[in-house]
Amino acid sequence: MLFVRFTDVPKDTIPNYERLPYEEALLLSTQVHQEAQQANERFASEFRIFNDADQLFYKGTFQFGDPTYPNLYLQLKDRIPRIRIRKEDATKKILLLENLERLTPESYKTMTMSSIQQQPDTTHVSRLRRGQRRIIYGVSGISFLLLGALSVVQLLQPAPPSGVQAATSEWQPLYEAALTGAPDPLVERLEKRKSLNDEQQQFLITQYVEKQDYDQAVAVTNDPIDVETIIMQSKSFVKNRQETLQAFQAIHPTDEGMFDLAILQKDYKRAVSLQAVEMTTARLEAKTRAYIALKDVTKAKESVKTVPNEELKGQVARLVQLNDEIQALEDQKRQLSEKKDKKELQKLNESLEAKQRQISTII
């Protein structure tokens, strides 16, 4: 059986960070996709596909509201065969494609953008078997956070109730030690495990990056973009994020790292010029802010359509307003004579400078 976990869908229809059976995730994501199309909205969410044993099969980003793919299955069917993988992983890729074919209803395989204008059969949700929920370990009533906003530690995948306390008591001292600044025992235990869940991978990667062991960090998932994303998002690197990313990028360069580093360095022209970058919600927001900083009204208006961030939408609206006011002042200037209207021109220039300063303070 396959499961899907979305991470940042700004709609209540899809529960974020929850393991959903693939068939249910397909139905719900198509419903949200269709609603976004009707509302002329666009937003992105990262997602990951796992099997019953919580083994990661695929990770990617789905653009809700974008007409390129009518549903999640059609995106996966198009992209997975084009992924370059090692020979030893070929069987894993074939198995994933076979399972997707088996689990996907025929109506989704032939779906077009015009066909999703009809509401998906939401009653089908009730007929799906809900996946068992994660067991979350808490310390003193507070969810145990190792990576700030990134994750809650997931001790176990679903297990019979009789096995819960034993597993908890086994792991509890290790997590408590990590909380008090002694992560090495937990690192050693995780390094011996054959498979790790998302949160455990993120914890290990953070520990390796803090020790500047970048090769070991990449080895956790065999994907440098995972490491680069954690560097950008984890609170562990809030004081030295730029330096850490620059050092990692020098050894394991990626287009995504190049983009994020340009944003951190405020090299906005370079950032928006990069094309081969996989856009997450965070990068879409950063790109929109870059256009605001560059005072590119047209690109900012287009970019913000894909961002589910009301504050950012307000900033773009402010940019548009100030730009219109500047254009009006420029029109007035052109109608004045430098010889006859010196005082009026001076006032207009002062107003223009003030408007330009206001644009510079939007972000």
Q: What is the pLDDT of residues 250-280, one digit of tens each?
A: 999 999 999 999 999 999 999 999 988 888 7
Cα–Cα distance, 52 to 259 (Å, whole number): 35
pLDDT at 138: 26
Q: Answer for the pair 343, 324: CB distance below 8 angstroms, yes or no.
A: no
Of all residues in the chain, the percent with pLDDT exceeding 70 is: 81
Residue 193 banded pLDDT, cuts 50, 70, 90? confident
Confidence tier at 338 by pLDDT (50, 70, 90): low
CA dist 244 and 241 (Å) reads 5
pLDDT band at residue 206 using 50, 70 and 90 as cut-offs: very high
Q: State residue 87's pLDDT score.
A: 60
Is residue 321's pLDDT more than 90? yes
Report CA-CA distances (Å) from 362 to 180, 263, 266, 268, 272. Answer: 40, 16, 15, 15, 18
What pLDDT score does 346 carry? 86
Average pLDDT of the chain is 80
Question: Which carries the bigger pLDDT value, residue 213 or residue 331?
Answer: 213
CB-CB contact of 151 with 5 (8 Å): no
DSSP string, 265-309: TT-HHHHHH--S----HHHHHHHHHHHHHTT-HHHHHHHHTT---
Which of the residue ranges 13-17, 138-142, 172-176, 353-357 would you say has the lowest mean pLDDT? 138-142
Asked if residues 178 and 137 have their Cβ atoms less than 8 Å apart, the reply is: no
With bands split at pLDDT 50, 70 and 90, how would you rate the model's confidence at 342? confident
The rounded distance, in Å, linking the Cα atoms of 284 and 67 is: 17
Q: What's the distance, CA 53 to chain centroid?
A: 24
Is 234's pLDDT higher than 90? no
Is 200 a residue whose pLDDT tops 90? Answer: no
- pLDDT over 50 at 327, yes or no: yes
Q: Is the pLDDT of residue 294 over 50?
A: yes
Provide mean pLDDT across the span 96-121.
Answer: 72
Determine the pLDDT at residue 124.
Answer: 37
Q: Which position has the higher pLDDT, 201 or 269?
A: 269
Best mean pLDDT range from 29-33, 110-114, 162-166:
29-33
User: How many angstroms separate the CA atoms of 338 and 334, rounded?
Assistant: 10
Q: Which residue has the tokens 């620059």?
A: 246
Alpha carbon distance 288, 292 (integer Å):
6
Would you say the pTM of this structure is higher than 0.85? no
83 pLDDT band, cuts 50/70/90, is: confident
CA distance 73 to 110: 10
pLDDT reported for residue 80: 84
Task: List the beta bridge partners of residue 62.
Answer: 45
Asked if pLDDT for residue 213 goes beyond 90, the answer is yes
Over residues 63-81, mean pLDDT = 90
For the chain, the domains span 2-127, 145-253
Tell me the backbone φ, ψ of residue 238, rounded to 5 degrees. -65, -30
Please choose, from the candidates 226, 231, 257, the residue with its C-alpha nearest in 3D space to the C-alpha of residue 244: 231
Average pLDDT over residues 91-102: 82
Mean pLDDT on 180-197: 87
Cα 167 to Cα 46: distance, rounded to the nearest angstrom: 30
Mean pLDDT to the nearest integer, 208-220 = 95
State the pLDDT at residue 85.
64
